[in-house]
Chains A and B, each alone.
Chain A
Amino acid sequence: MSMTKTQRRRISATVRYSVLTLWAIIAFFPIYWMVSTSFKIDTQWFSWPPVYFPDPPTLANYLNVWFGAEQYAATQYAISSQKPLISMMNSFVIATTSTFLAVFFGAIIAYGVSRYRILSEARMFQLLMLRMIPPIVVVAPLSLYYSAIGLLDSRTGLILIYFLTTLPYAVWMTKSFIDEVPREVEQAAEILGASRWRTVFEIVLPLIRSGLVATFLFILILTWSEYLLALIITKTQVTTLPIELSKYQGTTEGRVYGRQAALAVGITVPLMIIGLIIRKHLARGFSFGMVRR
């Protein structure tokens, strides 16, 4: 060990930067490719040698996919009569409603667990593991059951099942925020004569506002990107964005990569914005009480 401390530090810094940069490139390149393909003209979608930078860049894919602009279809590919904007609205409604329900009820249940121990710790873990049942094992009877009670191909049906599957996460995440609210606050409220429910809604929940927002956004990511349940349960009335994407699987003239990319960018950008907003809270969301603060 004849290196000086400075040399050692410089080497470790170099190693750190190279490894991190390598993974940053690996992480970023596919996203870059998706975005750049969405701006390419059709002869560059799938060519050899590959085109890394669209030249010339074009908005035709976006105009065609998101706004149905037929003139940009250049009469080359079968004009799609799909309506991504409607899917986006569906995705938005379904995702936000189910997420809101999950966070609302999740917070209430979390309060109950934190203060009144309505669920033992064992049950809490079991609740978390409920989410770990692969959806594939319930999809077939779910679709039969839903069609019997008229919830198939409905927004309500999807909202309910998303609510059920994300509730465990909501409970765990909000509980970690509620645990940090000092009990003295509620004791003061009780002395002043507030009922239990008032305490919850007017005292405790507002105190963890930012945590609720973080939980909301985290669960929104899950409901926005869900694929399998949406695939089986939706038909004509409802389509969500991930299903919309799988419809662009190609025509007789080849894969329409540019269009798929334009749609994919639209699906991904909202999530990325959300993720970047709540990035500081992601750690808490994922730790489920395994990390001491």
Chain B
Amino acid sequence: MTGSKFSRRTLMQGGVGLTIANFLPGTMPFAQAATMEESTIAAAKTVQATDVSGMIWSPYLVPMQPVIADFKKATGIGVGAVQDISIFDAPQRAMAEALSRSPQFDFIHIDSNMIPSLASAGYLEPLDEYMKKADFKIEAVADYANFMTYKGQTYGIPTDGNVHIQYVRKDLLEDADNKKKFADKYGKELKFPQTWEDDLKIQETLMDPSKDLYGSGNLRNRANGPTWWYMIFYSAGGFTFDDDMNPTLNTPAGQYAVDIYLADKKVAHPESAGWGTPQMIPRIAQGHVVSCQYWDGTAKLNENPAKSKTTGKWLYGLVPGSDFSGKRIHRSISSPLAAILINKYSPRKAQAAYLALWLGSGKNSIPIVSDPVNTFHDVWAKEQLKAPQVIKAYSAPAIKAIEANFEVVSPPTYLTGYLEFQDTLGKNLSEAYVGQLPAKDVLKKTEEEWAAIVKRIGRSKLKSELASYKAVMPKRDMPA
């Protein structure tokens, strides 16, 4: 039949092709490959539809609710009762849950630096099986997905990728009088700080307490201080433990970090020793701070004219580094890194796991991190950094800064006992900051207390975890 479009041969070939296609794994005839979201839904449908309950802070939950609603429509799995508890109090509560092996919460939304502690306590469900069934990968920037792993297994899905970036007031930096003052004092040009020493000099020169403008917006309180200290310590080439799990804090690098940390006192508001995020963030946004390292989410606040007096007045960039070790190293930090962890003792862990995967796909997480009102969640996925609404929320320079800092982001002590190590260090640092402890005794005391913690948890156990900790540390000294 010369008139027909398809010869019998073509039809035969097509038929063979179809048959072959049906037998090839992972392909669907005449259709595109399933997206990660679709395969997650498909996998979730294989388990019974039920609501899950969890521990999560309400400002985090609110922007996630529309995304959860979509999942519920598709699979019948939604979120029921939650315990509303702040991300800063959640670790204690989670450990209390682990102690009592409680099946009550199906998931917890918590600092992922708690993963080693909670996994050691037997509380966490590994997610690799679910990820395989749902054909899911954590598409995080750089090596950020490592932050979710412990001893080779994945335990969490990130939702809020906190990373510290450097904030410097553009208007103050470019002011002619300030430029002159700085040049006169140091004989150098006033520009974006590259090292901790630079930052201190800038803060000191540009601050003006009579106008309620203070140099530093860094936190130095007992709870958050260590987060800043680690950045300095790692950038000076320091590391917390040696291969035998002896603490290696009381080293020249450590003492350098303590000195820089305490020098902040000269350029900070006198009451800031007791300030936490709720007090400091308004001061940054309302223009009372010259420069600081701070969580990247504050950029969203700064660039929102309805809430900030300093829209457009900020420069964002890489956190300062140090030459102390002989070469220039920059280290940022991610703490707390809010992620969804699944309770091993819960009867609904599969449902909770698939819900977590749904929330953690690049596409689904975009509205979560760019919500204009509920700004807690911060970017962590490759896809988010390209999304226009995200770039608009943060501002393009901030996104560039975030990307750069992600390449050198490090964890705090990513080991079992994280809370104990952190609080001990924070207590000693804050005692020194308020003058109750001499600066030279901070690290010695902390090392002794850390050694006791190591002994209590078990040296060999912690030694086996060192590899996971080091796997999370950045591989390069500076961004490419």
Q: What residues make up the interface of A, taking CB atoms closer than 8 Å to B?
A: 75-76, 78-82, 143-144, 147-148, 152-153, 232, 235-237, 247, 249-255
The segment from B82-90, B149-157, B224-232, B442-450 found at the interface with A is B82-90
Query: Could you say which residues of chain B place their CB within 8 Å of the CB of A81?
Result: 58, 61-62, 84
A269 to B105, alpha carbons, bound, how many Å?
Answer: 34
Q: What residues make up the interface of B, taking CB atoms closer than 8 Å to A?
A: 53, 55, 58-59, 61-62, 81-86, 93, 96, 99-100, 102, 104-105, 276-279, 281-282, 285, 297-298, 301, 306-307, 373-376
On whether the beta carbons of B301 and A78 are closer than 8 Å, the reply is no
Chain A residue, CB-CB nearest to B101: A147
Assuming A78-B59, A236-B104, is B84 touching A252 (CB within 8 A)? Answer: no
On whether the beta carbons of A78 and B58 are closer than 8 Å, the reply is yes
Chain B interface SS verdict (over half): mixed
Assuming A82-B58, A247-B84, is B277 touching A252 (CB within 8 A)? Answer: yes
On whether the beta carbons of B297 and A252 are closer than 8 Å, the reply is yes
Assuming A144-B100, A236-B53, A247-B85, is B281 touching A79 (CB within 8 A)? Answer: no
On whether the beta carbons of B282 and A254 are closer than 8 Å, the reply is yes
A143 to B100, alpha carbons, bound, how many Å?
Answer: 9
Assuming A252-B277, A252-B297, A253-B301, is B373 touching A75 (CB within 8 A)? Answer: yes
Query: Could you say which residues of chain B place their CB within 8 Å of the CB of A255?
Result: 278-279
On whether the beta carbons of B83 and A235 are closer than 8 Å, the reply is yes
Chain B residue, CB-CB nearest to A75: B373
Query: Could you say which residues of chain A place their CB within 8 Å of the CB of B105?
Result: 236
Assuming A78-B373, A236-B83, A252-B375, is B278 touching A153 (CB within 8 A)? Answer: no
On whether the beta carbons of A80 and B376 are closer than 8 Å, the reply is no
Q: How far is the CB of A91 from chain B (nearest CB, A)?
A: 16
On whether the beta carbons of A78 and B100 are closer than 8 Å, the reply is no
Other than the given A78-B62, A251-B59, 9 more pairs (CB < 8 A) read A78-B376, A81-B84, A235-B93, A250-B276, A252-B281, A252-B298, A253-B282, A254-B278, A255-B279
A253 to B278, alpha carbons, bound, how many Å?
Answer: 6
A144 to B83, alpha carbons, bound, how many Å?
Answer: 19
Chain A residue, CB-CB nearest to B58: A81
Q: How far is the CB of A158 from chain B (nearest CB, A)?
A: 16
Q: How far is the CB of B316 from chain A (nearest CB, A)?
A: 17
**Partner among B276, B278, B307, B376 whose Cβ is within 8 Å of the Cβ of A76:** B307
Query: Could you say which residues of chain A place their CB within 8 Å of the CB of B277?
Result: 250, 252
Residue of A81, A247, A250, A255 most packed against chain B (CB within 10 A): A81
A80 to B277, alpha carbons, bound, how many Å?
Answer: 18
Query: Could you say which residues of chain B place their CB within 8 Å of the CB of A143?
Result: 96, 100
A/B interface sample: 30 pairs, CB < 8 A:
A75-B373, A78-B62, A78-B376, A79-B62, A79-B373, A143-B96, A143-B100, A144-B99, A147-B102, A152-B102, A232-B96, A235-B55, A236-B55, A236-B81, A236-B105, A237-B81, A247-B85, A249-B278, A250-B278, A251-B278, A252-B277, A252-B278, A252-B281, A252-B298, A252-B375, A253-B278, A253-B285, A253-B307, A254-B278, A254-B279
